[in-house]
């Protein structure tokens, strides 16, 4: 039994001496160091004999709370409570180097005498990691606080769980007022269901871009765009992360620019029509002259009494036909120059080009140009504003007609084709037999105010490029060698149903 007891004491002593943590035994009343292990001597830079003559304050910063008084208070707490007392402390070695440690104090009995044992572990790495984490938190908090964009975290059912401070500048209200409330209470009624459906159907980890109107504190509606990411399965977030910004002014600026572009387009259409005034007058003069002749003939026959109902009916039918012909010409001009908003609808480009044939023919006859069409047999449907696309076609056609003014009469040919590509896109090509491209970069041809005509404003091709770009298409030009000439190509994207 004594041998076993001796062996046990020997084992405990070895554990104490060779432990990887600092181990120190204190007198529980005075705090005096009675014993210390190798790790303690190593960390403090003192021998056991030196440690026995030092106070707790000598082994730390020696100013409150890291001093003898503070250390004794902890020792007495462990003595009086009988519980384990755990706290963070700072030790200082003989060279003055400080090390943060986590200390555990416990009252024990050694050889029948009550003592307090202190076990301390170096927590430098933990402290550094914690400091780095705090710094990263400060960094990201600063980013969020400094960002003009908003950030929010929503629950699965749209309840606001977190809002960045920028919400005050975006909506005029502090984050604490909105947290805990449903985001759908502030979104415009027409946007609630689309936004709700988009968030509900968002797969874990997936993102979606949304646009909606939301009410400002002053009662006005603001337009926001947001990117939402489903992080409900991420324990660090446990919500839908929303980054959003106010785009009201941008949308208004785009609407203003679009309105100006539409007005400029209309002015260009009126200008194009004005250039055809002589041809229009000539074209309208023929049906009007025929109408006058038919009506005058009917009047003379009625006055002479030498008429039949059949003859009069036939003459009136011919007059009606000529009036309808004149009406069609006037309607085409009116539709082409009308002032209207931007409207997209499903249109067959073949029909669109066919409806322009009379107007293009008017301009072509002025310059003795022959016009030929090659329209695809298959439907060429796209979603577009028909008047704007017609403007592109007629501008390119007029440019081609005018480019052939110096060509021999027998070579003045304008070819207009519409073809459906394999991917469903529709290509319009307008080709002339003029002198070809000017010696400039092809990109410069589409710049505003570029013109090869002496009196030209240089807006036609620039407008064409802008209109095609608005429709998500592409406009480019190539030069033909045999026969010489210029070809303008317009590629317009198909629609989902095409």
Q: Which domains does the chain have, with CATH numbers?
A: 2-123 (3.30.450.20), 147-246 (3.30.450.20), 249-341 (1.10.287), 343-498 (3.30.565.10)
| 200: CB partners within 8 A, 6+ apart | none
Provide the greatest CA pair distance for the chain: 159
pLDDT at position 253 is 86
CA 437, CA 432: separation in Å to the nearest integer? 11
Question: What distance, in Å, lies between the first and last C-alpha atoms of the chain?
Answer: 98
The confidence score (pLDDT) of residue 136 equals 85
Cα gap 485→473, rounded to integer Å: 23
Q: How far apart are CA 217 and CA 213, in angstroms?
A: 13
CA distance to 257, 376, 423, 468, per residue, from 380 (Å): 30, 8, 12, 16
pTM of the model: 0.47
What pLDDT sits at residue 268?
66
Instruction: Specify the pLDDT at position 206.
Output: 94
120: phi then psi, degrees, rounded to nearest 5: -125, 140
Tens-digit pLDDT profile for residues 81-125:
989 999 999 999 999 999 999 999 999 998 889 999 999 999 999
Residue 45 has a CB neighbour count (10 Å cut-off) of 14
What are the distances in angstroms from CA 428 to CA 349, 393, 473? Answer: 9, 8, 11
Q: Which residues pair with 104 in a beta bridge?
A: 86, 119
Q: Please, what are the averages of pLDDT over each run of 10 residues along the chain (498 residues)?
A: 46 80 93 92 92 87 85 93 93 92 94 92 91 83 75 93 89 91 94 95 94 93 95 92 92 81 68 61 66 79 80 81 74 65 83 87 87 94 87 88 88 94 93 78 51 46 82 88 84 69
Q: How many CA atoms lie within 13 A of 204 on its CB side?
A: 6
Q: List, for residues 239-252, the tens digit of each pLDDT value.
A: 999 999 999 999 99
> Between β-strands 150-154 and 160-163, what pairing exists: parallel, antiparallel or unpaired?
antiparallel
What pLDDT score was predicted for residue 117?
94
Give the span between the Cα atoms of 100 and 86, in whole angstroms: 14
What pLDDT score was predicted for residue 149? 86
């Amino acid at each position: 039994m004594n041998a076993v007891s001796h062996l046990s004491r020997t084992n405990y002593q070895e554990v104490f001496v060779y432990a990887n943590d600092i181990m120190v035994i204190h007198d529980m009343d005075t705090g005096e160091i009675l014993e210390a292990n190798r790790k303690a001597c190593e960390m403090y830079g003192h021998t056991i004999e030196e440690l026995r003559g030092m106070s707790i304050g000598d082994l730390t910063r020696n100013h409150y709370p890291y001093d003898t008084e503070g250390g004794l208070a902890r020792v007495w707490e462990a003595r009086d409570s009988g519980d384990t007392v755990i706290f963070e402390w700072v030790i200082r070695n003989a060279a003055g180097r400080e090390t943060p440690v986590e200390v555990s104090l416990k009252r024990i009995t050694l050889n029948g005498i009550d003592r307090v044992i202190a076990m301390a572990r170096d927590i430098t790495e933990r402290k550094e990691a914690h400091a780095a984490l705090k710094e990263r938190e400060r960094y990201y908090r600063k980013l969020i606080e400094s960002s003009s964009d908003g950030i929010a975290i929503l629950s699965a059912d749209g309840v606001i769980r977190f809002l960045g401070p920028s919400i005050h500048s975006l909506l005029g209200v502090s984050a604490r007022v909105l947290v805990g409330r449903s985001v759908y209470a502030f979104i415009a009624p027409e946007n609630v269901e689309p936004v709700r459906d988009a968030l509900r159907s968002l797969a874990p980890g997936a993102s979606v871009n949304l646009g909606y109107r939301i009410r400002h504190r002053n009662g006005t509606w603001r337009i926001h765009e947001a990117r939402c990411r489903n992080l409900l399965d991420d324990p660090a977030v446990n919500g839908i992360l929303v980054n959003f910004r106010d785009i009201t002014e941008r949308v208004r600026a785009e609407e203003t620019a679009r309105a100006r572009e539409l007005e400029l387009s209309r002015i260009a259409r009126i200008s194009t029509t004005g250039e055809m005034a002589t041809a229009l007058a000539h074209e309208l003069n023929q049906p009007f002259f025929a109408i006058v002749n038919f009506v005058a003939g009917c009047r003379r026959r009625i006055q002479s009494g030498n008429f039949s109902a059949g003859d009069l009916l036939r003459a009136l039918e011919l007059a009606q036909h000529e009036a309808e012909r004149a009406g069609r010409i006037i309607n085409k001009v009116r539709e082409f120059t009308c002032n209207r908003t931007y409207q997209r609808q499903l249109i067959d480009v073949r029909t669109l080009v066919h409806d322009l044939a009379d107007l293009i023919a008017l301009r072509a006859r002025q310059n003795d140009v022959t016009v030929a069409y090659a329209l695809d047999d298959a439907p060429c449907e796209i979603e577009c504003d028909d008047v704007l696309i017609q403007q592109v076609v007629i501008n390119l056609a007029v440019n081609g007609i005018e480019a052939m003014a110096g060509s021999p009469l027998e070579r003045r040919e304008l070819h207009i084709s519409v073809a459906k590509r394999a991917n469903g896109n529709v290509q319009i090509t307008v080709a002339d037999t003029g002198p070809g491209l000017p010696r400039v970069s092809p990109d410069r041809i589409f710049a505003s105010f570029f013109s090869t005509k002496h009196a030209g404003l240089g807006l036609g091709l620039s407008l064409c490029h802008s209109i095609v770009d608005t429709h998500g298409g592409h406009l480019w030009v190539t030069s033909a060698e045999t026969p010489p000439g210029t070809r303008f190509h317009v590629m317009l994207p198909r629609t989902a149903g095409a």
